A and B are shown apart, each in its own frame.
Chain A
Amino acid sequence: MSYIDTSIIIAALDSTDPRMHQARRVLEEVGDKIISELVLVELTSVLSRRRELISDLAEKLGLSEDLLIMAVLLYIIKRFNLTYKAVRYQVATLPLGRVYMPLAVAMKLSAQLKLKTLDLFHAAYIKLLKDEGEPIHTLVTVDSGFEGVKRRLRQILGVTTFMV
Chain B
Amino acid sequence: MRHIFAFLSTHRLRFTLNGSPRSLEVRADRRLIDVLRDDLGCTGTKEGCSIGVCGACSVLVAGELLSACLLPAVFVDGRDVTTVEGLAQGDELSPLQDAFIREGGFQCGICTPGQLIAATALLAEHPRPSDDEIRGWMMGNLCRCTGYHGITRAIKAAVA
Q: Real complex partners, A and B? A: no
